[in-house]
Amino acid sequence: DAKTTQPNSMESNEEEPVHLPCNHSTISGTDYIHWYRQLPSQGPEYVIHGLTSNVNNRMASLAIAEDRKSSTLILHRATLRDAAVYYCILTGSARQLTFGSGTQLTVLP
Amino acid sequence: DTGVSQNPRHKITKRGQNVTFRCDPISEHNRLYWYRQTLGQGPEFLTYFQNEAQLEKSRLLSDRFSAERPKGSFSTLEIQRTEQGDSAMYLCASSTHRLSYNEQFFGPGTRLTVL
C-alpha cells in the first residue's frame, strides 16, 4: 500500500480555519484519498474522500495537489468538537483501510 | 438504524482465558471488517467479510483468533488463550457495496484488558 505522512500534532484556535496536510508521494493513479477522524473514545468516522478534483461536503473540504502527491483537509471553522485524530488514507483495490498514526488536532478555546 | 454496535464495550480477562466479542453491522451492509487499535496507534486491519464469506485475513490474525459471520449478519471475534499483548481496542466496521467509495462505518469498539 502507498504510504501517507502526516504531522503528529497540530493546534488551532476555535472558529478559525484549519489546514491538515498529508503527503503521499507514492500514490498510484487508482488510489483514492480518504480522510477519517477519530474523536476521543469513539471509533473512526468518515470525513471526506477524493481522487483528483477538490471536494467539499458539510464537514470539510479536500484540496488535492495537481500531481496528487499531497492533499490538505480543510476545516473551515474549527470547533471544540473537531478535536480528534485525523487520518489520511489511500485506498486502492483493497477493501480494508490502512491507518497511519494520524494528526492529533487540538482546538483551543 | 442506530449504526454499528459492539458488545461488550469493555472486557477484563485473565491471561489464558478465551473471550468473544460481537459486532452488529448496519442493516443491509454486506461488508464487515475487524480492526485492532493499541494506545497511540491507528487501527490495524484484522479481517474482512463479504456477506458470510471471510475474504481476507491479516497476518496479525494468529491462529488463536477466529472470526465468523454466520448468515452474513452479525459477526463474532474470538480470542483463545488470551495474552497480555492482546490488550487493545477491537473495532468493527461495516460498509455497503452500493457506495463506490467504500465508506466504512465504525462501531464504538470493545476494549479488552488482559491481566
Out of B31, B91, B109, closest to residue A95 by CB: B31
Chain A residues in contact with B102 by the CB 8 A cut-off are 91, 95
- The more confidently predicted of residues A2 and A31 is A31
Q: How far apart are CA A16 and CA A52, in angstroms?
A: 26
- The more confidently predicted of residues B97 and A84 is A84
CA atoms A90, A95, A98, A102: torsion sign: positive
Model confidence band, residue A2 (pLDDT cutoffs 50, 70, 90): low
Q: What is the pLDDT of residue B45?
A: 95
Chain B residues in contact with A98 by the CB 8 A cut-off are 45
Q: What is the pLDDT of residue B66?
A: 96
Q: What is the pLDDT of residue A30?
A: 87
Burial B62-71 (b: 16+ CB within 10 A, else e): eeebbbebee
Contact present, B20 and B78 (Cβ < 8 Å): yes
CA of A51, closest CA in chain B: separation in Å? 10
C-alpha cell at A34: 480518504
Q: How far apart are CA B19 and CA B2, in angstroms?
A: 25
Determine what percent of chain A is predicted with pLDDT higher than 70: 98
Q: What is the pLDDT of residue B100?
A: 67
Q: What is the pLDDT of residue A85?
A: 98
Q: How far apart are CA A106 and CA A81, in angstroms?
A: 10
Chain B residues in contact with A97 by the CB 8 A cut-off are 33, 35, 43, 45, 104
Model confidence band, residue A34 (pLDDT cutoffs 50, 70, 90): very high
Mean pLDDT by 10-residue block, N- to C-terminus, for chain B (115 residues)?
Answer: 90 98 94 95 95 92 94 95 97 85 90 97
Q: What is the pLDDT of residue B1?
A: 54
Out of A34, A41, A45, closest to residue B106 by CB: A45
